[in-house]
Amino acid sequence: MARLGILLSGRGSNFIAIADHIASGKLKAEIAIVISNRGDAPGIEVARQRGLHAVVIPSKGLTREAHDAQIIAALQSAKVDLICLAGYMRLLSPAFVRAFPQRIINIHPSLLPAFPGLEAQKQALEYGAKITGCTVHFVDEDLDHGPIILQRAVQVLDEDDVSSLSARILHEEHLAYSEAIAMVINGDCEIRGRCVKKSPRQR
Amino acid sequence: MARLGILLSGRGSNFIAIADHIASGKLKAEIAIVISNRGDAPGIEVARQRGLHAVVIPSKGLTREAHDAQIIAALQSAKVDLICLAGYMRLLSPAFVRAFPQRIINIHPSLLPAFPGLEAQKQALEYGAKITGCTVHFVDEDLDHGPIILQRAVQVLDEDDVSSLSARILHEEHLAYSEAIAMVINGDCEIRGRCVKKSPRQR
C-alpha cells in the first residue's frame, strides 16, 4: 500500500477529499503523515481527529533550508512514497525537490500555464477567461511549472465571483487529486521530458 | 442583416465554416467582402467560387500602415459591421484597430492566455498540457490579448501529434466562431473592462 505524506497550511480541503477517498475504498493508499507549517491550520486538527499521524513543524525563526530539512526528515522517517501538497503555502527549497525526485505533486486551481501563482481564480475572472479549471502536476524547482499529470476544465459563468468560481473548481480538484495520485502510485504514468504519458503497460 | 468582412492569408477553413453556417441558415449574416493579403491563398479562390466579393491586397513593397490603409478603405467601402480574422497572418496596425473599435474579432487555437502566438497546438503538446482548446476574442492592439467572447476546451490525448490535435481543435473552432459572431452581431454580449458579458436583455 502506497504511503502518502500530506503537507498543508490551511483547512486542507484537498487532504480531506483524499482521506475520504481512501476511507471509502476509492483510493488504495494510506496517509502516513500529515505535516503543517502552522499549528493553527484547521487541516491538522482534522488529521488528529481522524487518528492520523499529524505533525506541526513551525517555520518561525528558521531559514527555508533548515525548515525544509526538518520536514524532509519527518517524511523520510514516515517512509512516504509520494508527497501531496494540499494548500501548502510555502515554496519548497531545491534540496526538498531533489530529496524526492518525481515524488512530489501539487494541485493548482487553473489550467496551467494560465494563471500561475496566488489567487488563480481571481486572475481568471479578471482576465475574462471563459474556461479555467485545475491542474495536478509534479513539483519541480519552478513555481507551478512541473510536468502535468491531469487537468479538469471548469466553465466560468457570467455571474461568477471569486467565491462561486473557486467552489466549482474545488469540486473538480477533489476528484482530480485522488485520480492523479492513483495514476502515480499505480505506475500508470511516466514522465518523458516535461510530458506525463500513460505507461506502456497501460496503453 | 449584419455584413461581415473576412480577412485571410491561407486556406481559410474558418471562413468556409462561417460561409457554410450562413448558407445553411444557422448564422444570420452576409459576407460582404473577403480580403487576402496573398493572391495564392486557397481561401480567396473558394470565395470567388462561391460568388463572394473577393479582393487581394498584396502587402509587398508597402509599409504596414499603407497596406492597412488599403484594407481599411476596402472594408469601409463594403460597409462591414464586423471584421473576422480567419487565419490572417499579419499583425494589425494600431490605426486599423482604432478604425473599427470593438468590431474586429479573431480565433486562436488555444485557451488564452495559455499558448499565444504561432504554433499554439505545438506549444500545448510540448508543454504537456492535458486540456487546450480555442478562443474567440475581440482584437486589441496586443497580440492574442483582447476581451474573450467564448472558449471551447479540447482534451489532449497521449497519442496526439500536432496534426491530430490541430484537427480536433479546428472542429471546435468552426463551431465557436459562428457562435461568437452571432453573439456579437445580435448584441447578445457587451464588453466591460476586459470581460465580455451577456447583455442585460439576455440575462
Segments of chain B scoring below 70 in pLDDT: 201-203
Q: Kindly name the residue from B21, B67, B108, B174 that is annotated as catalytic.
A: B108
Using DSSP, state whether A146 is helix, strand or coil: coil
- Give me the numbers of helices (H) and strands (E) for chain B, helices first please: 6, 9
Cis check for the bond before B113: say yes or no (omega within 30 of 0): yes
- By residue range, what is the domain housing residue B184? 105-203
How close, in Å, is residue A132 to chain B by CA atoms? 9
What stretches of chain A show up as alpha helix (H) in DSSP? 13-23, 42-49, 64-77, 94-99, 120-127, 162-185
Per-residue pLDDT tens for A148-183?
999 999 999 999 999 999 999 999 999 999 999 999
Contacts of A158 in chain B (CB under 8 A): 197-198, 203
At residue B130, the pLDDT reads 98
Kindly state the percentage of chain A with pLDDT values over 70. 99
B148 vs A129, A149, A197: nearest CB:
A129
Residues A89 and A178 grouped into a single domain: no
Residues A1 and A40 grouped into a single domain: yes
Cα–Cα distance, B198 to A155 (Å, whole number): 15
At residue A202, the pLDDT reads 58
- Residue A24: exposed, middle, or buried by beta-carbon count in 10 A (0-12, 13-18, 19+)? exposed
Whether B136 has its CB under 8 Å from any CB of chain A: the answer is: no
- Single pTM value for the model: 0.95
Residues A57 and A129 grouped into a single domain: no
Contacts of B198 in chain A (CB under 8 A): 158
At residue B189, the pLDDT reads 95
Give A125's Cβ-side CA count (13 Å radius): 16
Q: Is the pLDDT of residue A143 over 90?
A: no
Split at pLDDT 50, 70, 90, the class of A118 is very high
Whether A199 has its CB under 8 Å from any CB of chain B: the answer is: no
Residues B165 and B89 grouped into a single domain: no
Contacts of B194 in chain A (CB under 8 A): 126-128
Per-residue pLDDT tens for A72-96?
999 999 999 999 999 999 989 999 9
Per-residue pLDDT tens for A10-44?
999 999 999 999 999 999 999 999 999 999 999 99
Residues A45 and A94 grouped into a single domain: yes
Cα–Cα distance, B56 to B35 (Å, whole number): 6
The answer to whether the Cβ–Cβ distance between A152 and B158 falls below 8 Å is: no
A49-67 average pLDDT score: 96
Task: Mark which of A44, A74, A100 sits at the end of a domain.
Answer: A100
Cα–Cα distance, B130 to A153 (Å, whole number): 10
A40-54 average pLDDT score: 97
At residue B27, the pLDDT reads 98
What one-letter code names the amino acid at A82? Answer: L
Task: Mark which of A47, A79, A100 sits at the end of a domain.
Answer: A100
Q: What CATH number is associated with residue A159?
A: 3.40.50.170
At residue A203, the pLDDT reads 54
The answer to whether the Cβ–Cβ distance between B148 and A158 falls below 8 Å is: no
At residue B200, the pLDDT reads 80
Cα–Cα distance, B20 to B16 (Å, whole number): 6
Task: Mark which of B84, B100, B116 sits at the end of a domain.
Answer: B100
Residues A85 and A147 grouped into a single domain: no
Minimal Cα distance from A132: which residue of B? B111
Residues A130 and A192 grouped into a single domain: yes
Q: For residue A33, give the H/E element and its range.
A: strand A30-36
How close, in Å, is residue B185 to chain A by CA atoms? 19
Contacts of B149 in chain A (CB under 8 A): 130
Whether B197 has its CB under 8 Å from any CB of chain A: the answer is: yes
Number of domains in chain B: 2
Residues B82 and B133 grouped into a single domain: no
Residue located via cell numbers 480577412: B7
Residue A103 phi, psi (nearest 5): -125, 15
